[in-house]
A and B are shown apart, each in its own frame.
Chain A
């Protein structure tokens, strides 16, 4: 079972995950702004910027993160931002938002000039996350694990990052056993999503180039 220390450690991460959300004034624009590819492009770009700021605020609260070398902090955030944001968007889209926000957001994404070949893997990822029915602690910890992935470009001190990621993986493994007793493969399935995220990350760079051209 989960030790007292792990419990406290997890609480810090989950509290931070809940505290740092995209501000209301940004999300409510989803419903207000009128509807065109340009409008959707601007709105999605604004939401992405806000999501990066939220991600950094969340990451600052990950135990030990601020004790890492400053440039390594930047390299970790830069290397994982897109993946962490896709993970967060998937979680938001898979928990039914009130009065149709999910449908509106999905429609905007589908009508913002993003190429179809990128749309499919992105929405497939959202579906696969939705099917996992992750509890909040799992979502928060998986996001933290994604950010603390040592092998990102320009990260110098890999062992220091591994020392932070290791306890998180350990707690996540225990959580999965606790919340999904009849699914021994659940933890492995979660980590499988991280691989899928890396592919999405690769697509994302290509998608941005074509999106800008559109």
Chain B
């Protein structure tokens, strides 16, 4: 369902966060 895709996007972006720091 669309929400799960949304969930994965939020998770990927938040996980990537540590690469920018």
Which A residues fall within an 8 A CB radius of B? 49, 52-53, 56-57, 60, 66, 70, 73-74, 77-78, 81, 205, 208-209
Contacts and interface: CB of A to CB of B under 8 A. Distances in A.
B18 A60 contact: yes
Contact of B11 (A66, A74, A205, A209): A74
Given A49-B10, A52-B10, A78-B8, A209 B1 contact: yes
A52 B15 contact: no
Given A52-B7, A53-B10, A73 B1 contact: no
A74 B8 contact: yes
B14 A53 contact: yes
Interface string B1-21: 101100110111011011000
Contacts of B3: 208
- Top 4 closest A-B pairs, CB basis? A56-B14, A77-B11, A52-B10, A53-B14
Contact of B1 (A66, A77, A81, A205): A205
B15 A60 contact: yes
6 contacts: A49-B10, A52-B7, A56-B15, A74-B12, A78-B11, A208-B1
Interface centre among A56, A66, A209 (most CB of B within 10 A): A56
Given A53-B14, A56-B15, A60-B18, A78 B1 contact: no
A78 B14 contact: no
Contacts of B17: 56-57
Nearest to A209: B1
